[in-house]
Chains A and B, each alone.
Chain A
């Protein structure tokens, strides 16, 4: 490896950011797990944890190559170019003077792919076969995430000779994956929620979150990790990363306030679940736009996203779709709002170089943003639908009714999340353990 060409500061920032982004997935596991009932808490967490395993393996085998290999007509990277991370040891990424090892970039982007898959799981809570989730994760990452990530993350002259079509031809802003991650995962979540059908008792029995403290911890850790998600996407320890950091801060804060205000007006109470959801919504909203807006623009985007998402989550009851943990309401809607808002609030003097509607840029950039958002949305809806049908026809999507009623943790994982009883309810055999009467020493000698 040619160490001389590498910028140590930039490399350090990207590697720390990669670790921050990876932390977002266990944070998401906590965030989601607190929102389900106690009988499904482990399955909820396992779906996130599983994606760390599956995507890590796929990424090394062919995922990175499909995303950042030489582009085939801007649609897909060459899956064989970096298969098994071949030829990566000598490679660097980034402009002259700011080069980082390609491995640092690959690790950073791997964490993106991992959380994109994990995000979907919120829509399938309590009722999807674990085997079906394994199959869907592999297929969706391969056929939906890697191509879409190539479209938006692969730039000309970067890791690929010719990059993705949305990044290079459409020139839509998507700094850290509002389209490739949030719209993409949100659309898949919508498809799976419809394909699975609602949970038993949806809209008839209340399914309240079993542990809101977990939700709050998860939301806090997501915010923490998101600084790496957005800030690290600058791929350098520079002023852009610093501005993105501030934008990430203010957008999440404003979105939380927007969500809470909406709740206060609509329901009479500002809730902790609302605060946690608002934080995540704001982070989603600012993700595509964070490099092209000022902190005041980020504040506006955050507030708008918070209000829109708080309103949108009510739609699932109107349509009867059990998007259990509001993946569509937060990630799809938040991703769409943020991606379009970049076309409104982009300041031409910043990193993107093109102004949005509110900064005198007219409708052009807004149109580019819409093309990028709609393309990923439609692609994800169609491909996710076909994959859901395929998995349903082979493995089967849903666990049986009795197992769902009793709780998916026991049926799928043979574990329970909590053992809070003071009574010793268990024994080590299939039948009740009855201790043998102790033999006296005399009897033992006779025996």
Chain B
């Protein structure tokens, strides 16, 4: 089992959600996050005072995947979220030891 974590542009959420649904992924966890990497932030101006907002709004998507599904999911996310400009985001895969469905107590792949 793997956890796929993607940091994407907020306006790419719809496209990613639709693409994942078409791929057969029917669940995800979404968090509104802020951060910066190469894209850096943006500048706002208040009465002539320029303020650089370092942290750009992003959305973090987390998806639990069974077995070797993760790379396919990463590809789907990348294809849907790519605009080609800086700031499109990142996706990574982390191994997951075990999962439990709270309602039934099922474990492992059965709980995904």
The number of inter-chain residue pairs (CB within 8 angstroms) is 46
**Cross-chain contact B44 with A429 (CB below 8 angstroms):** no
Interface size bracket, B side: 10 to 19
Contact partners of B53 in chain A: CB under 8 A: 416, 425-426
* Complex CA distance for A25 and B50, rounded to whole angstroms: 29
A311 to chain B, nearest CB (A): 30
Interface size bracket, A side: 20 to 34
- Convert A422-445 into 0s and 1s, putting 1 for each residue whose CB lies closer than 8 angstroms to a CB of B: 010111111110000000000000
Could you tell me which residues of chain B, from 29 to 50, have a CB within 8 Å of some CB in chain A? 34, 40-46, 50
A205: which of B14, B40, B85 is its contact (CB, 8 Å)? B14
* Complex CA distance for A201 and B14, rounded to whole angstroms: 9
Contact partners of B40 in chain A: CB under 8 A: 430-431
**Cross-chain contact B42 with A429 (CB below 8 angstroms):** no
Q: CB of A405 within 8 A of chain B?
A: yes
Contact partners of A426 in chain B: CB under 8 A: 41, 44, 51-54
**Cross-chain contact A414 with B34 (CB below 8 angstroms):** no
* Complex CA distance for A426 and B49, rounded to whole angstroms: 12
**Cross-chain contact B54 with A410 (CB below 8 angstroms):** no
Q: CB of A73 within 8 A of chain B?
A: no
B10 to chain A, nearest CB (A): 8
Could you tell me which residues of chain B, from 8 to 34, have a CB within 8 Å of some CB in chain A? 9, 11, 14, 34
**Cross-chain contact B51 with A432 (CB below 8 angstroms):** no
The residue in chain B whose Cβ has the minimal distance to the Cβ of A430 is: B52
B52: which of A205, A421, A427 is its contact (CB, 8 Å)? A427
A424 to chain B, nearest CB (A): 10
Could you tell me which residues of chain A, from 403 to 417, have a CB within 8 Å of some CB in chain B? 405-406, 410, 414-416
- Convert B62-85 into 0s and 1s, putting 1 for each residue whose CB lies closer than 8 angstroms to a CB of A: 000000000000000000000101
* Complex CA distance for A416 and B34, rounded to whole angstroms: 15
**Cross-chain contact A410 with B44 (CB below 8 angstroms):** yes
Could you tell me which residues of chain B, from 61 to 112, have a CB within 8 Å of some CB in chain A? 83, 85
B42: which of A201, A410, A431, A432 is its contact (CB, 8 Å)? A410
Chain A interface (Cβ < 8 Å from any Cβ of B): 200-201, 204-205, 402, 405-406, 410, 414-416, 421, 423, 425-432
Q: Can you list 16 A-B contacts (CB < 8 A)? A: A402-B83, A410-B42, A410-B44, A414-B43, A414-B44, A414-B45, A415-B44, A416-B53, A426-B44, A426-B51, A427-B54, A428-B51, A430-B40, A430-B52, A431-B40, A431-B52
